[in-house]
Amino acid sequence: MVKKTKTIKKTRNLEKSRQEILDAAFWEVFTRGFQGVSIDDIVKKTSMTKGAFYHQFPTKLDLGYALVDDVIKPMTYSRWIDPLKEFKNPLDGILIQMKTLIGKASPEELRYGCPLNNLVQEMAPVDEGFKERLQAALLYWIEGMEKELNRAKKDGYLRADVNTRQVAHFVVMAHEGFYGMLKGLNDPKAFNALYDSLKRYFETLKK
């Protein structure tokens, strides 16, 4: 019993340490880029030693891959898909989430862009491991969006001939495009033009 308790405690401590590193690394990478931060930069933001870092992540790439798989992928889903389940018409939920998370975001927030999109732009062209994981994260988002759109079609909010997979692709890319444009233009007011265009597009899909 004592041995089992010690093993459980050790496992929990390792999980806690791993999460502390991921939390610190996420913000550093989000605000400075993956290539713009070093392991030393990240370690300084934690309570751990460099040796403890390497025990969790043997290389910086291992850390980057974990950020995509364990932080950014589920975070994207929880921000953009899970809330849609609360709406009878998911199309309404999509628009409200966009207005809440992008339209009402401060200029300071928008200047950093989208964590997923940032890494797609920075790392997908230069590292195959990143590319595969980022593609999987985008696919996970698209599939979640498609599921909600299929619900909308089943409940009579979309025309029967609407290709929900194509719409899901478009909506996800629109999200990323919104972030990219607002980040690049540094003009939050541009959101209204983009938002209105998406809203009009949704009208063409309705039954």
Q: pLDDT tens-digit profile of 13-58? A: 779 999 999 999 999 999 999 999 999 999 999 999 999 999 999 9
Among residues 93, 92, 204, the alpha carbon closest in space to that of 159 is found at: 204
Asked whether 25 and 67 are in contact (CB, 8 A), the reply is: yes
Is the pLDDT assigned to residue 2 strictly greater than 50? no
**Can you tell me whether residue 142 is helix, strand or coil?**
helix
Asked whether 176 and 117 are in contact (CB, 8 A), the reply is: yes
Confidence label for 3 from pLDDT (cuts 50, 70 and 90): low
Residues forming beta bridges with residue 206, ordered by sequence position: 158
For the residues 8-16, what does the mean pLDDT come to? 66
Is the pLDDT assigned to residue 165 strictly greater than 80? yes
Q: What is the DSSP letter of 157?
A: S
Is the pLDDT assigned to residue 180 strictly greater than 90? no
Structure tokens at 68: 């995509």
Can you give the residue ranges of every domain in the chain? 1-58, 60-205
pLDDT tens column, 72-85 = 999 999 999 999 99
CATH superfamily of 1-58: Homeodomain-like (1.10.10.60)
Higher pLDDT, residue 3 or 201 = 201
Distance in angstroms (rounded) separating the CA atoms of residues 136 and 75: 14
For the residues 187-198, what does the mean pLDDT come to? 87
| Topology of domain 60-205, CATH | Tetracycline Repressor; domain 2 (1.10.357)
**Fold: same for 1-58 and 60-205:** no
Confidence label for 109 from pLDDT (cuts 50, 70 and 90): confident
Distance in angstroms (rounded) separating the CA atoms of residues 202 and 186: 26
Distance in angstroms (rounded) separating the CA atoms of residues 141 and 53: 30
pLDDT at 88: 95
For all residues of the chain together, what is the average pLDDT? 92
The DSSP line for 59-113 is SHHHHHHHIIIIIIHHHHHHHHTGGGGG-SSHHHHHHHHHIIIIITS-HHHHTT-
